[in-house]
Amino acid sequence: MRAAKIAGNIHQSGAREEVLSTVQDIKNDHLQAAGSSLQSPHFFQRYEEMVKAECQSLAEVLQSMRHTDRISLKAENDIISKGEKLACPYLTMLLEDRGVPAHYVDLSDVIARHNIPTNTGEKHMYNALTGAFRQDVSTCGEKVPVITRYFGNLAGGLVHSVGRGYYSPAPPIGLR
C-alpha cells in the first residue's frame, strides 16, 4: 500500500526519489523476511529473483505515471496487485522450503490470457473466470496451489468496483 500512497503524489518535487526509495524499502523488507525464514539458499535465490523483477516492474509503473495527469485504472490495479505478487511467491517458497510441494498461480492477467469478455454480464464473466481458474490451477498437479486473488483489470477498476483490487474467494470456488 506504500506504493499506492506515493502514486497520488507522483508529480510533486522529489517524487522520483521517493518512488525509488519506497520500492527499495519494499524490496528490502521482503528479502529480509525471506532471509530470516527460508532455510534453503536455492529457495531464497528463486524468491529474490521474483522480488527484484516485481519491484523493477513496480518502479517502472510508478515512474511512467510522472508523464500523465491522472492515474489510470490499469496502473492503479497494477500497483495494488504487487502486494500479492510478492506475498504468494514467498508463501510458495516457504512451503517448498518446508517440504510441502507448492506452486504459485498468478491470476493477475487471467482475463487477458483467456480473452474473457468483461462486458457481457457478471454471470457469464464469472462462469468464464471459473473455467480459466480451473485450467490455470490444474497446472499444479498434486502441488498445493498458492493463488493470487487479484485476477485482472475490470471496467471501472477493481479498486472502485470491488474494493482494494480483489474479489472475494472466487478462485477457489468450483475448481475441483
pLDDT in tens, 89-121: 999 999 999 999 999 999 888 888 899 888 887
**pTM to 2 decimals?**
0.79
CA 98 – CA 114 distance, rounded (Å): 33
CA 167 – CA 141 distance, rounded (Å): 25
Q: What is the CATH number of the domain that holds 110?
A: 3.40.1160.10
Domain that holds residue 150: 2-163
Question: Does any domain span residue 173?
Answer: no
pLDDT in tens, 59-98: 888 877 776 767 777 777 788 888 889 999 999 999 999 9
Question: Does any domain span residue 169?
Answer: no
* Higher pLDDT among residues 107 and 53, named by residue: 53
> Do 107 and 136 touch, CB atoms closer than 8 A?
yes
What is the domain count for the chain? 1
Question: Does any domain span residue 175?
Answer: no
Place of cell 471501472: 156
Question: Does any domain span residue 108?
Answer: yes
Question: Does any domain span residue 176?
Answer: no
Question: Does any domain span residue 132?
Answer: yes
CA 75 – CA 62 distance, rounded (Å): 8
Per-residue confidence band for 152, with pLDDT thresholds at 50, 70 and 90: confident
Question: Does any domain span residue 27?
Answer: yes
How distant, in Å, are the alpha carbons of 25, 45, 57, 88, 144 from that of 101? 30, 17, 28, 14, 6
Question: Does any domain span residue 172?
Answer: no
